[in-house]
């Protein structure tokens, strides 16, 4: 088994969260109960627990002139998967918070777009021009 990532986050409504991740992102819902659920987001486990909003004081930062969310999580997809997810979100009328090209003509060049989930978390979808450069500097 490949190494997988786990992230646990508070949420406002477990029902709205499950519906959003299943219907919009096409993610599988794993084990769940009345106040929590495991979400399979591209083989990575996100556990949401209904307990209220997450408070984070530093909302954004500037990266080469683009204002980006300081707190976010996401997945790195191959180009075709990235385009399919973008099309899927557009079909569900999910607003794209921003769409950015990073490090153009440099190592690690990639495209990203950001969307908000029902808990006001920002989810990033990345697609590297050269997938082997994910960690290269």
- CATH 3.10.180.10 occupies which residues in the chain? 6-50, 60-133
- Hunting for tokens 């819902």 — which residue is that? 29
Question: Would you identify the CATH topology of the domain 6-50?
Answer: 2,3-Dihydroxybiphenyl 1,2-Dioxygenase; domain 1 (3.10.180)
Q: How far is CA 114 from CA 25, 48, 73, in A?
A: 13, 19, 10
75-115 residue pLDDT tens: 999 999 999 999 999 999 999 988 999 888 988 899 999 99
Q: Which fold has domain 60-133?
A: 2,3-Dihydroxybiphenyl 1,2-Dioxygenase; domain 1 (3.10.180)
In this prediction, residue 25 carries a pLDDT of 94
Instruction: Give 24-37 pLDDT, tens digit per residue.
Output: 999 999 999 899 99
Tokens of 105: 């003509």
Mean pLDDT lowest among 49-53, 88-92, 124-128? 49-53
Query: Residue 137 has what pLDDT?
Result: 64
DSSP assignment letter at 64: T
Average pLDDT over residues 51-59: 74
* Whole-angstrom distance, CA of residue 87 vs CA of residue 18: 20
């Amino acid at each position: 088994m490949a190494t997988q990532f786990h992230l646990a986050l508070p949420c406002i409504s477990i029902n709205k969260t499950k519906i959003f991740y299943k219907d919009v992102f096409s993610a599988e819902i794993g084990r769940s109960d009345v106040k929590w659920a495991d979400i399979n987001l591209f083989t990575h486990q996100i556990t949401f627990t209904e307990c209220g909003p997450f408070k984070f004081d530093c909302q954004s930062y500037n990266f080469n002139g683009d204002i980006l969310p300081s707190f976010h999580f996401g997945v790195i997809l191959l180009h075709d998967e990235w385009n399919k997810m973008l099309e899927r979100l557009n079909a569900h009328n999910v607003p794209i918070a921003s769409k950015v090209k990073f490090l153009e003509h440099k190592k690690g060049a990639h495209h990203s777009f950001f969307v908000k989930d029902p808990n006001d978390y920002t989810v990033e979808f990345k697609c590297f021009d050269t997938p082997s450069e994910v960690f290269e500097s």
